[in-house]
Structure 1
Amino acid sequence: MARPVTNSAFEGLLSAAGYGNAHATFARQLNHAGRNEGAWRYDAASVYWWLRGRRPGEHVQAAMAETLARKLGRPVAVTELGFGATESIGECTYPTSIDGAINKAEQIWTRLAKHLNQQASGTFDSGKALEAALGWRYDLSDGSTSRTGRQQVTSTDVQSLYALADHFTDLDRRHGSGSPHTRAVMADFLVHQVAPMLRGTYTDAVGRGLMLAAAILSGQLAFMSYDAGEHAVAQHHVTLGLRLAKAADDRLYGAHLLANLATQAVFLGKAREAARLVEAAIDGAGRAPAAVLARLHATAATAYGQSGERRACQLALTTAERALDRAGDDPGPRWVGYFSPAHLAGAALRCLGDLHLHTEALRHVPGALTVGSQNLRTRALHTALIAKTHARAGDADTACNWSWKLAQQAGGIQSARLHQRVRELTAALRPHQASPQVNEVLLTLAAMPAVTLGRKHG
């Protein structure tokens, strides 16, 4: 039995525009209106759920208004669509105190748990990101973290949080974050388990461990939100994680989070801001273990490569390679153990490709393929990058071979970052589409499951 329509305003607009019995036509025209946003694949089922209360993102609503306005012959405001205003998660500010960080944690975790299927309003704010970097780097250290509350928290409780963080990290690497299910479970856990612990009773030593565990969980949720394309939510969680890492007096994890923020800025094309963020991370990390330094300088290389700073990029790559060579004797904290020669090779492929040094970039292909079997998303990301680099270098046949491998690897991975890589690969192959082989690959990429490509259904 069909569910009743709950959005009568949207239904009325569809009927007035002649789409009352032509939802598939509206969806096709909507996909065309949003073509600059990527490969949208909305269909009649999407319209069904929108009529019954599901809320699309603001960029989708803008394209809806444009499509309806064209048919109605008049302007259509987004507010006429009947989806209501998006609940804001507040301004992305770096908390000035530990109590402020705990309050902020409860606020954004609760909001995320309740409204995970809705996009948060707002976008990545470069100014707020740089403010957070300055606060983390230069604010005075906190005093004692000890508290008195309802729940006694012990070091054993804190260790269980680290184990759960490892579990969520493994799920993310295997399946990606496009599906909200894992993030929903994680947000619910943070609200009902971690937040009460932060307001509990603990000594200063336990408190610092608890702050670090909460920072790691918040940082993981930030990365998952970034991978799902929820950039405002991701930035909020990184900013919170930075403040919790400051309370824990753990400058290395704070530097790692700041580098994650720089990585997000690179993804969004904000290379100059990314460079400043990762430079602050390197400065704040100080005499860090070799593995941490390798990760930070690899991130710097991607920022410099995107901004066209060839000398700085190559210097950062060399520094990262030398640091990673020393990492066997100086491995660093457990959370940096993921960063492998394959991750560095992937960073080199990307930044050297951005500098149009395709031959030099392709020398890193063997290294990029040594990624661990559990890192399915990274393997697919690297495969897409290899295919794109070959295409940009003019070798369409080899690019096609790698594209076939990508199509086989990508099944079941839900990631907006992988979606973006596929878009970049498609753009790199289009100049060669006169070739029947390339044309077949383009059709295959276009037909990849929409869920794999990170399409938002709400």
Structure 2
Amino acid sequence: MRPLRQVRQERGWSRARLAHELERRAEGLHTLAKRVSLVRMISAWESGERDPSEPYRSLLCAAYRRSAEELGLGGEVNRYRSDIGLTYSPSLHETVLTLRGLAHLDEIKHTAVTHGKYMPEALNSACLDWLFGDAVNDLPQLEIKSVTSHDVDEIRAMTRAFDGLDRSFGGEHCRMLAVRYLQDRAIPMLRAPKPARIEREMFDVAAILCELIGWMAYDTSRHSLAQRYFTQALRLAEAAGNRAYAAYVIASMADQALYLARPGQALRLAQVAGNISNRVGVPVVTTEALMLEARAHAVQGDAQACRAALERAERSFHRGRPEIAPEWASHWDDKLFASHVGTCWLELGELNAARTFMGTAWDREEKQGRRYVYAASQLAHVALLQGEIEEAASLATTAVQSARGLTSHRSKSHLTALRKQLLPHAQVAYVREFEQKTQALEGRRSSLLQ
């Protein structure tokens, strides 16, 4: 529930009563909208459709005897700046205000964030500020109910649920639910009184939730939005004293840069993540960073550097036993490892090796739709390059069928690319069958593949 509505309900006021209080305080000073319009305006403020301007903002603060910040009106943060969330702030107070403003603008689909462009230079600045800047815990605590370990467990459980839905059905499936939960439940807890140990845990779980929302945005091609959430997750991880997770967030940034065809930037980010994870001694993060480094080298055609990074990644992977891996990295397994390796070999044109590793990654019992679609698509690509048109079309059909119900733009982009690769072979019966099945599954004007 939004603070503005919550405060009104706690006082037992109706919207008409609040309108009366505003009118009383404005008398002789300001001319307000008529009562009917004012009540509608209050409803819009409380739902987040609009923000109150002056003099309404000041009158609300006076009526409730609360600050603009306490009422969720943005405080000193300009919530409509197009660069909101793109910077890494040393101030924890500013970070929380920024995150709250970002989540609000995301929820109401404000163009300040929904139409933003991916800014690689902002990522570079954020990493430098994280590595060499001073972090300040200047977050004031509101006089509200104290946070307990039960609250931390709740956020951890909700994040786990959101993560499971995302992996099964794609980023669009429950992203807005996660955003609302971050805004209405998690962010207020950051401001509540809590012991030092609980405070660190609270920042930790908030960082994980924030990074997950970033991944959901990335999966739905909202790349500027994803970048903003990743940057704020990095700051929260630092506040939690969890440098391993901070490095993991940097690896997520590298993954996104690689997807956006920026291998040079991906390489730099992956190397930063790898250096930090080596220092803190969390092998699974080192493995992910080295895998992304290897893939960046492969895209750039540097086979020697790619092989060296893969060898280091393999050693790190075998050190990172599942029982010692953090919960947030529990998805790392043999199939994910094989998928990254297979992608490297495919980029380098080593088709037999790519087929072997992608075959390991492609598990018919896989419950994570994106993994299944990706592995099947890559195997189809390998088969096509090896002249196995029938096999490629069969795998392509399997990939399309597996994408049903997924709300993942990444998966759709892999299938779109695969269809383009098969178009030159449209005269082959198996490819025509693939086209027919695709049209039957998605309709002749398929939103999935067109």
TM-score by length of 1: 0.75
The number of aligned residues is 369
1:364 aligns with: 357
- Give 1:293's aligned residue: 286
Query: CA, structure 1 residues 455+132, in 2 after alignment: closer, same or farther (shift >3 Å)?
Result: farther
Report if the CA contact (8 A) 1:390-1:398 is conserved.
yes
Residue 351 (str. 1) matches residue 334 (str. 2)? no
Query: SS at the partner of 2:114?
Result: coil
Q: Any stretches of 5+ residues in structure 2 without a counterpart?
A: 1-79
Residue in 2 that maps onto 1:400: 393
Report the CA distance between 1:313 and its aligned residue.
Answer: 1.5
Q: Does 1:208 align with 2:200?
A: yes
What's 1:29 paired with?
Answer: none
2:275 aligns with one of 270, 275, 283? 283
- Aligned equivalents of 1:452, 1:378: Cα separation in 2: 22
Query: Which of 1 and 2 has greater Rg?
Result: 2
Aligned AA for 1:234? A
| 2:408 corresponds to which of 415, 419, 427 | 415
Q: Distance in 2 between matches of 1:226 and 1:406?
A: 21
Cα distance change of structure 1 residues 195 and 304 upon mapping to structure 2, 3 Å threshold: same
Give me the whole-angstrom Cα distance separating, in 1, the residues matched to 2:427 and 2:448.
28
The reply to whether residue 255 of structure 1 matches residue 247 of structure 2 is yes
Alpha-carbon displacement from aligned partner over 1:54-88 (angstroms, at most 9, x marks no partner): xxxxxxxxxxxxxxxxxxxxxxxxxxxxxxxx994
Q: Give the alignment partner of residue 108 of structure 1, picking from 77, 102, 105.
A: 102
Distance 2:298 2:218 in 1: 21
Deviation at 1:408, TM superposition (A): 2.2
| Deviation of the 1:238 alpha carbon | 0.3
**Counterpart in 2 of 1:237?**
229
CA 1:372–1:99: 2 relative to 1, 3 Å: farther
Q: Is the 8 A contact 2:221 2:410 kept in 1?
A: yes
Equivalent residue for 1:94, pick from 82, 88, 94: 88
On the 8 A contact 1:291/1:332 being kept in 2, the answer is: yes
Query: How far has the Cα of 1:106 moved from its partner?
Result: 0.4
Distance 1:373 1:262, change over 3 A: same
Alignment match of 2:178 (pick from 156, 161, 186): 186
Deviations 1:67-115 (A, max 9, x none): xxxxxxxxxxxxxxxxxxx994636111221111101110111111222
Percent of counterpart pairs with the same letter? 25
Residue equivalent to 2:265 = 273
Report the Cα offset of residue 373 of structure 1. 3.4
Q: Tell me the distance in 1 between the aligned counterparts of 2:282 and 2:378.
A: 29
Greater displacement, 263-272 / 439-448: 439-448
Q: Structure 1's 248 and 128: CA in aligned 2 closer, same or farther, altered over 3 A?
A: same
Letter in 2 for 1:159: D
Change (3 A) 1:439 1:419: same
Q: Whole-Å Cα distance in 2 between the matches of residues 251 and 387 of structure 1? A: 39
Alignment match, 1:172: 166
> Match for 2:247: what amino acid?
A
CA RMSD of aligned residues (A): 2.7
User: Structure 2: which amino acid aligns with 1:107?
Assistant: G
> TM-score w.r.t. structure 2 length?
0.76
Unmatched 5+ stretches in structure 1: 1-85
Which residue in the other structure is 1:15 paired with? none
Q: Pairwise mapping of residues 52-67 of structure 1 onto structure 2 (< 5 A)?
A: none
1:435 matched to which residue of 2? 428
Query: Which AA in structure 1 matches 2:92?
Result: I
Q: Per the alignment, in what secondary structure is the counterpart of residue 258 of structure 1?
A: helix
Separation in 1, partners of 2:93, 2:81: 24
In structure 1, what is the Cα distance between the partners aligned to 2:308 and 2:147? 46
Q: Distance in 2 between matches of 1:125 and 1:448?
A: 37
Aligned 8 A contact 1:113 1:188 in 2: yes
The structure showing larger relative contact order (alpha-carbon pairs under 8 Å, at least 6 residues apart) is 1
Question: Do 2:253 and 2:266's aligned partners in 1 also have CA atoms closer than 8 Å?
Answer: yes
1:47 matched residue in structure 2: none
The answer (yes or no) to whether the contact 2:230–2:249 under 8 Å persists in 1 is yes
Letter in 1 for 2:286: L
What do the CA deviations read for 1:324-349 (whole angstroms, capped 9, x no partner)? 22222763211111011111111112
Q: 1:43: which partner in 2?
A: none
Q: Does the CA-based 8 Å contact 1:124-1:235 persist in structure 2?
A: yes
Native 8 Å contact 2:85 2:98 kept in 1: no
1:222 aligned to 2:214?
yes
CA distance in 1, matches of 2:206, 2:333: 25
